Amino acid sequence: LDSGGSCANAIATLGRLGAQAIYCGHVGDDEMGHLYAGLMTEACGSHALRFTSQAPTGKCLSIISAKDAERTMVTDLGAAIRLPELGDFGQIIDKSRVVHFTGYTLLDDPMRQVVLEAMERASQMGAKISIDAADPFVILLIKDLLWDLLERYADIFFLNAEEAQKLTDEPEEKAIFTIAERAGVDTVVVKLGAKGSLILHQGQLHRIAVHPVKAVDTTGAGDTYAGGYLYGVISGWDVPRSGRLASIVAAMTVGQIGAVVKNDDMLKEAISMAQNDR
């Protein structure tokens, strides 16, 4: 049992790596919600969770295949998508250099309207806006909205090969250019699993090799990839170095049970390896 959620995993990874990161979320005022708050504090040092008595804390059962370490998820988002207003989260946005969102938060109101307000506020304050597609079914449900938000707000966009294909009807190597050109996104990242990743930044394509690891549990690998990459962005690193860190942290995640690497020595080693191209 651990804290989770696509955005939460990315933010927790940022915090564990040493960035000043804070997670804004919505949980039930119940046993699970308070447990979640404690786990997020343990993961990244702080959080800005709101508690509600109107809905239970969201839950996800992740079932891991012993054959290939792939996961199947059974999810009840609960209070997570019922955030009624931006409120004091706006003050956190005002002080942020990067604000990260995931596609799950765009699926339904009232959360969707809150996220749209948050993106507009972040844009007005000059923060970089990072969006992770999160899941192929998100694209199937809100494809037009996603394109609109990419065009209006996104500076960095994360997605995997299947999501890229569903968004553009093209294979990933063509899709990455289509997304950047159509939406004007500065950085598009396509995660390819065992084949590494592609990063298109300001028209230049970078191929990031996968970091070798024995797969145990793939839960959260894409989330921690995003967290690793954003750490590089915040630290002023170039694209190859940021991509290497993302790949290393994602591999460390795959090599363990659980969605966030909590071993500080391993994360320090990941930063060192990325900086020294090892």
What's the average model confidence in pLDDT over 93-106? 96
What's the average model confidence in pLDDT over 175-195? 96
154 pLDDT more than 70: yes
Q: Which of 60, 27, 35 is nearest to 259 (CA)?
A: 60
CA–CA dist 81, 59 (Å, integer): 12
Q: How many Cα atoms within 13 Å fall on the side-chain side of residue 254?
A: 21
- The per-residue pLDDT for 58 is 81
What's the average model confidence in pLDDT over 98-121? 95
CA–CA dist 213, 110 (Å, integer): 40
Look at 31-40, 165-174, 221-230 and tell me which has the smallest mean pLDDT.
Answer: 31-40
More confident residue, 67 or 38: 38
CA–CA dist 240, 203 (Å, integer): 14
Residues with Cβ within 8 Å of 190's Cβ and at least 6 positions away in sequence, in order, are 159, 160, 161, 164, 172, 175, 176, 197, 198, 199
Q: Is residue 102 within a helix (H) or strand (E), and if so which, with residue range?
A: strand 98-102
- The per-residue pLDDT for 258 is 73
Q: How many Cα atoms within 13 Å fall on the side-chain side of residue 28?
A: 13
Residues with Cβ within 8 Å of 45's Cβ and at least 6 positions away in sequence, in order, are 15
1 pLDDT more than 60: no
CATH number of 54-275: 3.40.1190.20
CA–CA dist 140, 196 (Å, integer): 25
Does this model's pTM top 0.95? My answer is no
Per-domain residue ranges of the chain: 54-275
**How far, in Å, are 23, 69, 208 from residue 252 at the CA level?**
22, 13, 16
What's the average model confidence in pLDDT over 238-261? 90
Which tokens hold the place of 233? 């962005």
